[in-house]
Structure 1
Amino acid sequence: MRYRIAVILAMLMVAAACTSTPVDTTPPPTTAPPSSTTTTAPQPIEPVPVPDAASALTDGVTVTDDTIYVGVLADLTGPFSGTVVDVVDAQLAFWSRLNDEGGIGGRTVEVLIANTGYDLATHVEKYGALKDQVAMFVHSTGSQQTLAVLPNLIEDNLLALPVTWYSGWSDPALGANLLETGSNYCMEAMNTISYLDEQHRESTGSAPTLALITFPDDFGRDSAAGARYAAEQLGIEIVYDGEGTVIPGQDLQPIAAAAAASGADYTWVATDPISMVEIVGTALQLGYTGQWGVAMVSFSDRLLSTALGDYMAGNMLMSTLILPLGAEADAMDEVISVLTDAYPDRYPSTGLIEGYLEYVVARTVLERASELGDLTPAGVVAAAAQIGSLSYGGLAPSNIYSGDASSTVTRATAIYRPDKALFDAQGGLEATLGAGAISPLSPIRGFTASQLAADYDFQGPCFVFPTG
């Protein structure tokens, strides 16, 4: 069957537009969705006692007598916006529920949102506009974007939560003023390719061949580093090396053609979802017969609405650093309850889970700062240094925030397969939380560290851009 890529891309863009709730992208405070129930927000850890609101030190701007202001630097219109809008909206839902229950130390939490469009210069600009207004940044989309403002975070003594799974965040030397969630791009590539290698050898008795296709940024290069390490250790031949070749907006046909011509048994992709689906469709047109492995952020289950839906369900595995919405986990029922109350008509995106994880980290830090009596930005950074580890009710592997790089890096990731039958049964893009819909993904393997990942001597980022 031949697929028309332009039609697929148009369908994907329409799908994203139809399932995204508009988010205020200007600096003034946004109001989280109202809630009308008394369901208790999920508790990943036991809440800590907090002093009276008036007793904590504040600067009177980022935190006042009744409000804590936090910032978001989010890609709401760029290549990852289809997921990031869900991430941000989920945070708003959980902050709204917490505010209904009394907030933190008697203060409500207000979120100031800036749209960066995944543009590096815009990210830096928006950081500058918000930095004196917020106690911390509870979301920062993009590896290079977050790295660009990291020196400013250190100089300004501000904390940020990167919405990027760059392996560098686990390095204490690089991850200053940052707290990550889950594992990283490097480990997910190691784990997924190790799994594909096991399956291929079991079924054929021989080693598979591999093609690599990635972005040229920290995401793509970090993922490629993990994939390349796995290939070297497992004796897998890389028959097409497209590391760093995918530039959004440029012609991807030569890349897809090279992957197809390579005859690789598997192709590992670390790009945005729109580029990924164009490459997959074009390679298929050109006769590619192999299978696909994709990084978590490269896939959107809304893609199942396109003409490639059935093909991807049968020929693609996706790594995931967090559980899909609806997967079995201790915290899942409470998470779904809060999200359904806030957004009954929302499509069940896995991005909603990431929003919850960010909320857990930010709430824990802010509660600790309030307990210590210092809610200034510097006090928030100091409180973060006392958070030794965090767990998320089974929704993601625990994070360890104290120790050397090797002991703090999270190595486990999971593997899922797109489930077209479930997607269709729930109504496709019309599926909603209010109707009980969940993410249309089927588990292949739960959170596991492959032997390669478990034994990997992690001393710093898997990939670092050369300087000078």
Structure 2
Amino acid sequence: MRKMTAWRRSAALVCAVAVIAVACGDGDDEVDEPDTAEEPSDEGEDDAADEGEDDAAAPAEIATGIGVSDEPCPEGVNPDNGCIYLGHISDLTEGPFFPLAVEILAAQENFFERVNEDGGIAGYDVSLVIRDNKYNGQEHVTVYEEIADDVLSLAMSLGTPPTLAALDLMEEDQMLAVPASWWSGWDHEESDRGLVVASGYSYCIESMIGLDWYAGEFGDPETVLAVGYPGDYGGDSAAGSSAWAEANGAEFLGFTQTAPNAIAGNQDAVVQAIMQAQPDVVTLGVGPLETGEIVAKAAASGYEGFFMGAVPTWNPALMGDEGVAAAMTALYRHISYSEVWGGDSPGHEALRASLDGELPSNDAYVLGWFQTYPMLALLEAAAANGDLTRAGLIEALDGLVVDYEGGMPTKTFTGDGAADAQRTGVINTPDAEADLGLSAIVTDFQSPTADAFDYTSACAAAS
């Protein structure tokens, strides 16, 4: 079942040179853009209600609209099924997260291949319409407009700034989207307009989880410094660090902003700020290359504190250099909202089976797999309601219960962000013997600070 698309081949080349990029601080290598997936053969304005009454594989009547066709998918498994087209807009060639994004794409492709092989959804297979946003808001809007009339929903909209750039259009189109970003605004309707179907915790809550774990393991830190990209990612993570410090009597030393190496060139200024401040703990909201450089250079400079890294800070390629690996193993722990590759849930068993025993290039495959369960649940609920339209998906979202096959806590979408939010996490350590270089120290870690946090709005602005 394993797919090795052109997107994944391109990323594999970059991952192979990631350690070199850490050493020289240059993340600006560009990769030629591969061809995108096939366009849907039908814009899907058909109403299946009149023709589907005798179809035993589907409910007697299902209203359909944009993005749903009675014709089989171009690469469908079931020739008698129709096709549900879902958009996948992601950072697939040259943005800061594309080595992660291509594994998220591969996971979604294999996830829906599994769904199709199990018979599909109410008489329909699922097909992805793929576009590259280059992690750029303007480009995201452009490719969104290219596919908006062809897809029922967005199975993936990677990046908070790109997604926000299209939010007005999404609202006009009644387009729901699954994000690959964890800005706290996605948990609150005032920020996402009820259109973003997020899983896992936010970056803000994540920092509290990581710092609570550190305090329990090593004692309460007296000082905390946040390092990250400004805005939705690093800014949200920093807001969580600040809130944790305030709640626990620690001194928050501030938010040191940085940028990907493709823009900043290197992380020397960050390392200098860390060495001057000498915080007990640094929370990181940056990319993997920047993480490796910051931790390794700080360790080489004599820093004796500790780093807690957000979900996107990790890439197993960081273990390819002995110096970087030693520094990461000694001074860094990774926070995640689900167990990594080696988890023992049925969901983890399914994702490993989807690659026929092979390994992805990084754990973003795991993230992509579990991020897709809400879309499956939405499609199944909407079909059961007899309404596979965009309005039908929005109606199905109200009260939707998502079972992640044990890979994450079951989530109910009630519309109350504070009540719905996940406030538990997994703490991982770099491990040269583990598949993909991470092993879990603690699963289902309960964060008292996150539990007590008044989470009624976004922790930080997205920009």
TM-score with structure 1 length normalisation?
0.82
**Aligned 8 A contact 2:227 2:258 in 1:** yes
1:299 is aligned with what amino acid? W
Answer yes or no: is 1:174 the counterpart of 2:188.
no
Deviation at 1:57, TM superposition (A): 1.8
Query: Equivalent residue for 1:198?
Result: 216
Return the alpha-carbon distance in structure 2 between the equivalents of residues 398 and 174 of structure 1: 23
Query: Equivalent residue for 1:356?
Result: 369
Deviation at 1:28, TM superposition (A): 2.5
Unaligned runs of at least 5 residues, structure 2: 1-17, 42-54, 72-81
Q: Where do residues 235-254 of structure 1 align in structure 2 (5 Å cutoff)?
A: 235-239=249-253, 241-248=254-261, 249-251=263-265, 252-254=267-269
Instruction: State which drifts further: 277-286 or 359-368.
Output: 277-286
**Aligned 8 A contact 2:207 2:241 in 1:** yes
For 2:441, what is the secondary structure of its paired residue? strand
Deviation at 1:27, TM superposition (A): 6.3
**Aligned 8 A contact 2:19 2:320 in 1:** no
Answer yes or no: is 1:412 the counterpart of 2:409.
no
**Aligned 8 A contact 1:390 1:400 in 2:** yes
Deviation at 1:145, TM superposition (A): 1.6
Aligned CA distance change for structure 1 residues 374 and 215 (closer, same or farther; 3 Å): same
For 2:233, what is the secondary structure of its paired residue? helix
Return the alpha-carbon distance in structure 1 between the equivalents of residues 376 and 34 of structure 2: 21
Query: Equivalent residue for 1:76?
Result: 92
Post-superposition CA distance 1:260-284 (Å, at most 9, x none): 2222222111011112222223323
Return the alpha-carbon distance in structure 1 between the equivalents of residues 290 and 227 of structure 2: 10
Deviation at 1:337, TM superposition (A): 1.4
**Aligned 8 A contact 1:12 1:303 in 2:** no
For 1:218, what is the secondary structure of its paired residue? coil
**Aligned 8 A contact 1:270 1:298 in 2:** yes
State which of 138, 143, 151 in structure 1 corresponds to 2:160: 143
Q: Where do residues 148-167 of structure 1 align in structure 2 (5 Å cutoff)?
A: 148-167=165-184
Aligned CA distance change for structure 1 residues 256 and 375 (closer, same or farther; 3 Å): same
Unaligned runs of at least 5 residues, structure 1: 31-48, 424-437
Instruction: State which drifts further: 281-290 or 168-177.
Output: 281-290
TM-score with structure 2 length normalisation?
0.82
Deviation at 1:12, TM superposition (A): 10
State which of 122, 136, 149 in structure 2 corresponds to 1:119: 136
Query: Equivalent residue for 2:383?
Result: 370
Return the alpha-carbon distance in structure 2 between the equivalents of residues 279 and 113 of structure 1: 34
Post-superposition CA distance 1:311-370 (Å, at most 9, x none): 211221111112101222243223311232xxx544363222222223321111112222
Percent same amino acid at aligned positions?
26
**Aligned 8 A contact 1:90 1:339 in 2:** no
Query: Equivalent residue for 1:382?
Result: 395
Return the alpha-carbon distance in structure 2 between the equivalents of residues 23 and 378 of structure 1: 34
Post-superposition CA distance 1:198-217 (Å, at most 9, x none): 3332xxxx643222111002
**Aligned 8 A contact 2:228 2:258 in 1:** yes
Aligned CA distance change for structure 1 residues 67 and 187 (closer, same or farther; 3 Å): same
Answer yes or no: is 1:327 the counterpart of 2:339.
no
**Aligned 8 A contact 1:192 1:415 in 2:** yes
Post-superposition CA distance 1:386-413 (Å, at most 9, x none): 41x2131221223221042321121111
**Aligned 8 A contact 1:261 1:288 in 2:** no
Alignment size in residue pairs = 416
CA RMSD of aligned residues (A): 2.8
State which of 241, 253, 256 in structure 1 corresponds to 2:271: 256
Return the alpha-carbon distance in structure 2 between the equivalents of residues 345 and 412 of structure 1: 29
Return the alpha-carbon distance in structure 2 between the equivalents of residues 298 and 366 of structure 1: 32
Aligned CA distance change for structure 1 residues 76 and 29 (closer, same or farther; 3 Å): farther
Query: Equivalent residue for 1:305?
Result: 320
Query: Equivalent residue for 1:446?
Result: 443
